[in-house]
Amino acid sequence: MMGKLFSAMQNHFNSAGRASLCAALIAVCAAAAAQDADPRQAAELIDTVTIIGHASDVADVPGSAHVIDSEELDVFIETDILRMLRSVPGVYVQEEEGFGLRPNIGIRGSGLDRSARIALLEDGVLIAPAPYSAPSAYYFPTPRRMHALEVLKGPAAVIIGPRTTGGAINMISTPIPKVAGGRIDLRVGEYNTNDAHLNFGSRGERVSWLLETVQSASDGFKHIDGPVGGNTGFVLEDYIAKLQIDSDPGEAVYQSLRFKTGYTQQTSDETYLGLTEDDYAVDTNRRYAASAGDVFDSEHSQYQLSYVIDPGNKWRGKITAYRNDFKRNWYKLQSVNGISISDVLHDTATHDIALGYLKGNTSPDDAITKRANNRSYDSQGIQAQLEWDFGFGDNDIALTAGFRIHKDAEDRFQHENAYRMEDGALVLTTAGAPGSTTNRVSRANVRAFFVETEIRTGKWILTPGLRVEDIDLRRLDYSTADPSRALGPTRVGENSVSAVIPGLGVLYRLNPAWRLLAGVHKGFNPPAPGSTADEESSLNIEAGARYDNGNWSVESIYFINDYDNLVGTVTESTGGGANIGDQFDGGEVTVSGLEFSSSYDWTVGRIDVPLRLDYTWTTKAEFGSAFDSEFDPWGSVAAGDELPYIPEHQLRVSAGLVTGKWRLNLAASYIGKLRTMTGQGAYVAAESVDAHVVWNLIAAWQFTPRLSTYVKFDNLLDESYIAARRPAGIRPGLPRTAYLGLTYRL
C-alpha cells in the first residue's frame, strides 16, 4: 500500500503539466497559519464574517450553536464537507458521489436535498447559487480552504435568514495571517488522486493581503461498462485573493476597506444513474454503459467589498456589497424509451428492455436521451450590520441591527440529445436545439431586516430577536421553440411573501461550569418563484444544559420542530415525479430529538489523549396527516409515516494519541437504518438503507516545527455501504482510500 502511494506521488508531481502548475503556485503561495486578525487593533475582532466568534464563545450562546475551529479541522484534514459535519449533533448528511462535491445537508429534519433548506454562507454572505429563487447547492465552497465552520440551529439562526427552520452554516475562509507566512499542503492517494492547498499572506500596518488556491483531481473509484469507459472522478481549481486597507494606527476612528474575490472551476464525471440491487451485490463500484459521457461542468466567481468602522466608543458597523455568478451544465442521462431512469431502476421487472439498453444492449435510434441541464445563476446585494454596546443599571446590553437588500436569478436553458446504444457504446442520433427542453427564468427581490438584543443581567443572558423578510418572486416561462425569447414569456407566475420571524434564547449560568438554556423561534422557508404552495412555517423549541470544567465538556439539547406546513420541492436529485421546481404542501409534521456531545482531554505521561462523542437521537420525524402527493419521496402518505433520509440514531466517536512529534487520530461514524421513502412499521429493503459504520484514521509525524507528513485512510475497514437510493438506483459510498500528505509552513 505504502509503495503504491509513494509511486503515485512520484507520478503525479513529476508530470510536466502538474509539476509546472505546482511550481508556479508554490512560488507565490503558501498556507497562512490559522490565526486571528491583527491584535494591534481590538477593532479587528468586529470582522463579522464570524457569527458566533471563537469556539469558547459558544458556552454563553443562548441557543444551539457549534463551532468547528481550525484546530479541529486540522486533525483529519478533510476535503469533504460531509465528513467535517459528522461531528455536529442535529446535522444530517446524505452522501452522493463519494467526494462531497454537491452535498446534501439538513438540520433538525429540515430536509437534505441539495442543502436547499438551510442557509449557507461564506464569510457571512449567502453563497448558494440563487439563495431565494433557486437555493439548491450545485455550487458549494471548497472545504479545503475553510478556516472554521459555524453551525447555528436555534434562535441564533434568526439573524441569518431566510431559512430558519433548520438553521445556518457559515463557512469562514482563511484569514489574512498576523505576519508574512504561509502553508503548503500536498497530498496524493489512490484512484490517481492528488490535492494541493496553498496560501500565502502578509499583514502590514496599513495594507494586508492573502492569496490562496486549491488544486484537486481524481480519476474516481467507479468503472464504466463498455468499450468507451472513462473516468468517474473530478478536477477542481479554486482561487481566492483578499486585500485589506486599514486607516492609520494613530487615527482616533478605526476604518478598514476589505476586498475579496474568488474563482472556482469544476469538472466532474458524475451521473444520477445508480445500480439495481442484484448488480450492486456483485460489483458495488460499477456504472452502466449508458452513463458514459455524463459530466458536470461549472464556473463560479465571487466578489465582496466591505467597509468596517469602529470609533472605539461602544458602537461599530460593517457594510458589505457582494456579487456571485455561477454557471453550470450537467450533461447526464435522462430517460430510456421515454421512461425516466428513476422509474426504470425502481421497477426493473417492468422495464427490463430499457434496463438492458442502460447496460449496453444494442437499441433503436433515439432510445437513450441525455439532457444538457444548462443553467446560470446570479446573486447580488448589500448587507449591513450595526452593533452598539451600552449599560442600563447593572445590566449589559448589546444591540445588533442590520438589513439585506438582495436579488438573485436562475436562468434555465436546457436541451436534450438522443442516442442509440450499439454494443456498449453510445452513438448520437438526434441533436437537440439549445433551449428546446426548458426555457425559463426565475427571479427574487428581497428586503430583509433584523434586530437582536443580548441582555446580561446577573446570571441570566437573554437574546430576543426579530427578523422581517419581504420577498417578491417571479417565474417567466418561454416557449421552447423561441430560444431567443423574442416573443416574450408564454407564462408569468408571480408570488410574494412577507414574514415576521421572532426568536428568543435564554441562558442561566448556574456556576462557572454549568449552564441551562432554552429557546423558541419561528421556522420559515420561502416558496419558490411561481409556486402555488404555501410558505413553510414551524414552531421550533429547544432546551438543554452545558457543562465545561476545562478538560471535560458536555452538552445535551432536546429539540422539537413542529411544522404547520412542510413543503417538498421536485428536483432531479429527488427523482422527480412532476415538473422540476414544482412544490407540494406536506401539512403538519413533527421532528424531535436529542443532541448530545461530550469531549474529554486526558493526559497520560507525555501523551495527550483527546476523546470525543457526538450523538443524535431522532425520537420522532413523521407526518401528522394523510394525503396523496405527486412528490416521489412522499407518494401516498398516511398519518404517522416517517420522513425519508432521517435515521433514528447517528453517532460519531473519536480518539487520539498526541505527542510533540507525532499523533494518531481515529474516528468512527455510525449511521442508523433509514427510510428512502416515507413509511412506517417494518422497513422495506428496496426503500431503506442499512446501518453502517465508517472508520477514518490519520497518522502524522512532525519532522521540524515547519515540516510534517501524514498518512490518511478514509473508510479504513473498507465498509461497503449504500450512500443513497435516489434518484435512480443504488449509489455506493467511498471505499477505503489511502493518502500520503506533506505539509510545510513558512
Q: What is the pTM of this model?
A: 0.91
Residue 300 identity: H
**Grid cell in block for residue 270:** 458524475
* SS3 per-residue string spanning 309-373: EECCCCEEEEEEEEEEEEEEEEEEEEEECCEEHHHHHHCCCCCHHHHHHHHCCCCCCCCEEEEEE
**CA–CA separation, 671 vs 648, rounded Å?**
9
Q: For the chain, what is the domain count?
A: 1
> What are the two backbone dihedrals, phi and then psi, of residue 585, each rounded to the nearest 5 degrees?
-80, 130
Q: pLDDT tens across 210-228, in order?
A: 999 999 999 999 999 999 8
- The CATH number for 105's domain is 2.40.170.20
Q: What is the CA radius of gyration of the chain?
A: 26
**CA–CA separation, 355 vs 440, rounded Å?**
32
Selection from 507, 373, 528 nearest residue 442 by Cα: 528
> What are the two backbone dihedrals, phi and then psi, of residue 46, each rounded to the nearest 5 degrees?
-85, 15
Q: pLDDT tens across 431-475, in order?
A: 999 999 999 999 999 999 999 999 999 999 999 999 999 999 999
Q: Which residues in the chain come in under a pLDDT of 50?
A: 1-48
Domain ranges, residue 150: 2-745
Name, in order, each residue with C-beta under 8 angstroms of 281's C-beta and a sequence gap of 6 or more.
none
Question: In the prediction, which pLDDT does 580 show?
Answer: 67
Question: In the prediction, which pLDDT does 58 show?
Answer: 78
Q: pLDDT tens across 37-85, in order?
A: 333 344 444 443 567 765 557 788 888 889 999 999 999 999 999 999 9
Question: In the prediction, which pLDDT does 48 show?
Answer: 39
CB atoms within 10 A of CB 501: 22
**CA–CA separation, 566 vs 562, rounded Å?**
10
| Alpha carbon 605 to chain centroid, angstroms | 40
Question: In the prediction, which pLDDT does 627 show?
Answer: 77
